[in-house]
Amino acid sequence: MLHWRGERADGKIVPFPAAAGTGGRGAVCDLLESIGSCMNFGRNAEIFGEDEPADYFYKVVSGAVRISKLLSDGRRQIGAFYLPGEMFGLETDDVHAFSAEAICDSQILVVKRSTFLVEAKRDCAIVTEIWTQTMTHLQRAQNHMLLLGRKNAQERIAAFLLEMAARLSHTGEVELPMSRQDIADYLGLTIETVSRTLTQLERDGLIAIPASRRIVFRDRAALDLMNDSLAA
């Protein structure tokens, strides 16, 4: 089975190194590890479902997670990918608004909500830290809305590749943990459009695709340009 960066062969729970994302460190990190337990989920295993009670929340130790919403006819939108070090599944409501699945074999730290909330009552810093992380996710979501509402296929793919590169690699290439279908559902495109656009970017010399899930950056400046970045 495919192994993903951050996954450990021995299955031991360790704080994930500083590499990725919103909140690896801090008091919450320590707290969660002391009051949570670690579970393994196989590829495509459901971690929780839409409308299920939100009694727990979660932190990715290794692997990768997607959260998604479905329309009744099967159309799917992936709201976010979560990578090692990131928390997910906390909601105001007592039922989940999303479902969450493991993208590849993953270790997930599971924390009982009520246990956590008791701790939080006593320590303002904990709440502040969680709030900060929630805000980060909100900002990401709002950024993603600009992409979904206003960008064309090329711009979406460029933004996606750069996001993934920033979040899980510091070299000139990325190994994507997710399928083309996941990418499509994240970017609001079809699988065919994702594939065609990637092929086109390769033809144009902006990237190379030595294996379908491995992307090598050949002209990052051009990708940055597509990504706009600079608002008026």
Partner DNA sequence: CGTGCGTTTGAGTGAATTCAACGGCTGTGG
Partner DNA sequence: CCACAGCCGTTGAATTCACTCAAACGCACG
| Residues within the interface to a copy of itself (CB under 8 A) | 1-2, 50-51, 67, 69-72, 74-77, 79-80, 90-93, 97-98, 120-121, 123-124, 127-128, 130-132, 134-139, 141-146, 148-151, 185, 187-188, 228, 230-232
What's the closest the beta carbon of residue 196 comes to DNA, in angstroms? Answer: 5
- Please measure the distance between the N-terminal and C-terminal CA atoms of the chain and give it in whole angstroms: 46
Residues 6+ apart with CB under 8 A from 45: 101, 102
Say which entry of DNA, a copy of itself, none residue 194 contacts (CB below 5 to 8 A, set by partner kind): DNA
Q: How far is the CB of 40 from a copy of itself (least distance, A)?
A: 26
The distance of closest approach from Cβ of residue 48 to DNA in the complex, given in angstroms and rounded to an integer, is 21
Instruction: Indicate which single residue of 110, 179, 208, 220 sits in contact with DNA (rule: CB under 7 A).
Output: 179
- 71 token code pair: 């329309």
- Give the whole-angstrom CA distance, residue 80 versus residue 199: 24
Among 128, 132, 136, 195, binds DNA (CB under 7 A): 195
Task: Please name every residue paired with 59 in a beta bridge, in sequence order, or none if there are none.
Answer: 87, 109
Q: Which of residues 138-177 bind DNA (CB under 7 A)?
A: 152-154
User: Looking at this protein, which amino acid is placed at residue 167?
Assistant: R
CA dist., res. 173 & res. 131, Å (int): 32
Structure tokens that stand for 227 in this block: 């990504």
Q: Between 136 and 193, whose beta carbon lies closer to DNA?
A: 193
Tell me if 39 sits within 8 A of 110, measured CB to CB.
yes
The reply on whether position 216 binds DNA by CB under 7 A is no
Give the shortest CB-209-to-DNA separation in angstroms: 6
**Which of a copy of itself, DNA, none binds 132 (CB below 5-8 Å, type-dependent)?**
a copy of itself
Sequence-distant contacts of 205-212: CB under 8 A, at least 24 apart: 206/158, 207/161, 212/180
d(CA 40, CA 35): 17
Residues that bind DNA (CB under 7 A): 1, 152-154, 179-181, 188-196, 198-199, 209, 212-213
